[in-house]
């Protein structure tokens, strides 16, 4: 097929030098890839200079498909602060040459131009080309939107953490959807990430990430000199926890849910406390969930409300208690009570993809139960905000300002996907199939609000459900 040209420009409130440098940092590829394109097994050699390469497996994350397509790109041109070019040498296109061109407008403004010369591997009728162009616009609209948002979030705190003085941030549980979104955001902000892993350190390492092997069930972790340079860890982010919604709860599953949180959090807290005072982190963020509050109907719940009486509530209470020794020692400690995190790259939204796209979307039970939710980007930005705003401590609800009922969520998602969703899954069936898990995860009503987060000055990028879903699904 004859090659065609696609071009997209955007104006960026940054200098050319800073904008170009952002693209050179580890994690830029992951941040620029839409969440509906599920990337796995990313391997990079070099940066963006000629001869550098990147390979990855790609599949549609929404809907989740059982196969992957291997892609490989090689960088072919580089002029610092002016342009770089990459060529797809393995993938869905017969030709794909992508030139990123940077130019200055002065006054701290720049223009980024993406120019792609591409050819499809087969003949496409002329009337179908607008569909191809639409998909390319969808891709590059997302790339420019997320790049602008990320740069703005980092720039806001340049007085707190000046460029060139990065933080060292240790993350546990980084293999889940939250960690996989958070790490590239942090590294494109220039920060250094240390990732706790359960395989031999370095055997599956991403560029720019230091690994430390640990084993929470055996109490094995050494933070004495993790980088070999006797450096201080500035921030610890603990994201460990077995997925509570993975299936019905039996005795073994309940133990796994509790132990996966308590063992890892207790070990991290103990290891931090064993460090000399001058090398202890300034901040310890321990994940929790709004399930802490239990089933509360239509009550509006902020961080001052007590814990509930459900199994999930007790799990969250115990999870937070495991980090108390760090707080008692005077280290700033934050309990990040997350709502339902929405991304097509994992969790509830990923699981709903196929039934909703098939027109089989359904409300659950009465549909009146309330859900505190947050989009993945706002979750990442709120964690970054917590790191930078040093007055934030204690419990904090990470949810968007307007919770929705299950019926609202069903109708909005169906509308975004342009599919019907006229079914109802009755409560008795939920309880029959999933037991207590279904009752507590799917039928519980928790109207949590982000009182402390809003009071600290945080601004949500996507406070409305429909806007957020269109962003992450490219609709």
Give the length of the chain: 475
Q: Which ranges of 281-423 does DSSP label H, i.e. alpha helix? A: 311-321, 324-328, 348-357, 376-388, 406-417
Shared domain for 323 and 460, answered yes or no, is yes
Residue 160 lies in a domain: no
Could you tell me the two tokens for 8?
Answer: 């997209």
**Given this model, what pLDDT does residue 468 score?**
96
Pairing of strands 423-425, 362-364: parallel
Residue 179 lies in a domain: yes
The lowest-confidence range among 7-11, 95-99, 155-159, 314-318 is 155-159
Residues 404, 371 contacting (CB under 8 angstroms): yes
pLDDT grade, residue 39 (50/70/90)?
Answer: confident
Q: Among 155, 177, 208, which residue terminates a domain?
A: 155
Q: Which of 91, 156, 176, 205 is nearest to 384 (CA)?
A: 156
Shared domain for 212 and 357, answered yes or no, is yes
Residues 152, 377 contacting (CB under 8 angstroms): no
Shared domain for 55 and 116, answered yes or no, is yes
The CA-atom distances, in angstroms, between 348 and each of 308, 323, 341, 413, 459 are 23, 27, 8, 12, 24
**Between the CA atoms of 215, 217, 220 and 224, what dihedral angle is there, to the nearest 10 degrees?**
90
Residue 276 lies in a domain: yes
Shared domain for 81 and 195, answered yes or no, is no
Residues 83, 99 contacting (CB under 8 angstroms): yes
Shared domain for 87 and 135, answered yes or no, is yes
Shared domain for 54 and 176, answered yes or no, is no
Q: Among 126, 155, 184, which residue terminates a domain?
A: 155
Shared domain for 268 and 237, answered yes or no, is yes
Pairing of strands 37-45, 53-60: antiparallel
Shared domain for 134 and 200, answered yes or no, is no
Task: State the Cα–Cα distance between residues 190 and 403, nearest whole angstrom.
Answer: 34
Provide the mean pLDDT of the chain.
91
Residue 161 lies in a domain: no
Residue 140 lies in a domain: yes
pLDDT grade, residue 230 (50/70/90)?
Answer: low
**Given this model, what pLDDT does residue 208 score?**
66
**Given this model, what pLDDT does residue 277 score?**
87
Q: Which of 412, 409, 423, 413 is nearest to 369 (CA)?
A: 409
φ, ψ for residue 123 (rounded to 5)?
A: -75, 135
**Given this model, what pLDDT does residue 68 score?**
78
Shared domain for 319 and 218, answered yes or no, is yes
Q: Which of 71, 95, 243 is nearest to 173 (CA)?
A: 243
Whether the predicted pLDDT of 310 surpasses 70: yes
The CA-atom distances, in angstroms, between 102 and each of 82, 83, 169, 188 are 5, 6, 31, 18
Residues 146, 188 contacting (CB under 8 angstroms): no
Q: What is the mean pLDDT of residues 121-144?
A: 84
Helices (H) and strands (E) in the chain, counts: 13, 22
Residue 331 lies in a domain: yes
Residues 48, 102 contacting (CB under 8 angstroms): no
Whether the predicted pLDDT of 124 surpasses 80: no
Could you tell me the two tokens for 336?
Answer: 């990040």
CATH number for 71: 3.30.530.20
Shared domain for 129 and 200, answered yes or no, is no
Indicate the pTM of the whole model: 0.94
Whether the predicted pLDDT of 437 surpasses 90: yes
Residues 377, 461 contacting (CB under 8 angstroms): yes
Q: Among 155, 189, 217, which residue terminates a domain?
A: 155
Q: What is the mean pLDDT of residues 96-101?
A: 96
Residue 57 lies in a domain: yes
CATH number for 420: 3.40.50.720
Q: Which of 181, 101, 112 is nearest to 143 (CA)?
A: 112
Shared domain for 393 and 452, answered yes or no, is yes
For residue 392, give its domain range. 168-473
Residue 391 lies in a domain: yes
Shared domain for 453 and 361, answered yes or no, is yes
Percentage of residues in the chain having pLDDT higher than 90: 71
Q: What is the mean pLDDT of residues 109-136?
A: 86
* Domain count along the chain: 2
């Amino acid at each position: 097929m004859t090659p065609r040209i696609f071009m997209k420009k955007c104006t960026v409130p940054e200098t050319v030098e800073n904008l170009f440098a952002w693209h050179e940092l580890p994690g830029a590829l992951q941040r620029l890839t839409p969440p509906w394109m599920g990337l796995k097994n990313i391997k990079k050699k070099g940066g963006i200079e000629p001869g550098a390469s990147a390979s990855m497996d790609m599949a549609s994350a929404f809907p989740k498909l059982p196969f992957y397509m291997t892609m490989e790109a090689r960088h072919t041109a580089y002029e610092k602060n002016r342009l770089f070019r990459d060529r797809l040498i393995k993938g869905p296109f017969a030709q794909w040459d992508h030139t990123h061109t940077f130019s200055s407008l002065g006054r701290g403004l720049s223009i980024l131009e993406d120019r792609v010369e591409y050819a499809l591997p087969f003949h496409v009728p002329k009337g179908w080309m607008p569909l191809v162009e639409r998909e390319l616009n969808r891709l590059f609209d997302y790339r420019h939107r997320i790049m602008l948002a990320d740069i703005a979030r980092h720039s806001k705190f340049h007085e707190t953490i000046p460029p060139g003085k990065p933080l060292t941030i240790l993350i546990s549980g980084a293999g889940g959807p939250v960690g996989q979104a958070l790490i590239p955001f942090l590294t494109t902000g220039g920060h250094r990430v240390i990732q706790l892993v359960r395989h031999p350190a370095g055997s599956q390492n991403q560029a720019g990430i230091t690994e430390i092997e640990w084993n929470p069930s055996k109490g094995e972790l050494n933070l004495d000199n993790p980088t070999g340079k006797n450096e201080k860890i500035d921030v610890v982010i603990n994201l460990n926890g077995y997925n509570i919604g993975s299936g019905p709860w039996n005795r073994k599953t309940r133990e796994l849910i509790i132990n996966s949180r308590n063992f890892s959090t207790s070990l991290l807290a103990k290891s931090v406390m064993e460090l000399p005072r001058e090398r202890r982190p300034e901040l310890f963020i321990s994940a929790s969930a709004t399930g802490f509050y239990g089933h509360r109907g239509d009550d509006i719940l902020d961080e001052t409300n007590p814990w509930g009486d459900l199994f999930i509530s007790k799990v969250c209470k115990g999870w937070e208690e495991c980090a108390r020794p760090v707080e008692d020692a005077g280290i700033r400690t934050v309990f990040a009570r997350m709502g339902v995190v929405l991304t097509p790259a994992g969790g509830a939204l990923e699981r709903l993809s196929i039934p909703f796209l098939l027109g089989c979307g359904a409300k659950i039970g009465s549909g009146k139960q309330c859900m505190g939710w947050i989009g993945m980007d706002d979750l990442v930005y709120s964690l970054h905000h917590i790191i930078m705003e040093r007055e934030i401590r204690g419990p904090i609800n990470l949810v968007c300002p307007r919770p929705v009922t299950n019926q609202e969520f069903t109708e909005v998602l169906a509308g975004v996907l342009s599919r019907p969703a006229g079914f109802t899954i009755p409560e008795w069936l939920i309880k029959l199939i999933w037991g207590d898990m279904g009752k507590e995860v799917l039928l519980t009503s928790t109207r949590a609000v982000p009182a402390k987060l809003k009071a600290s000055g945080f601004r949500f990028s996507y406070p409305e459900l429909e806007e957020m879903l269109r962003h992450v699904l490219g609709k």
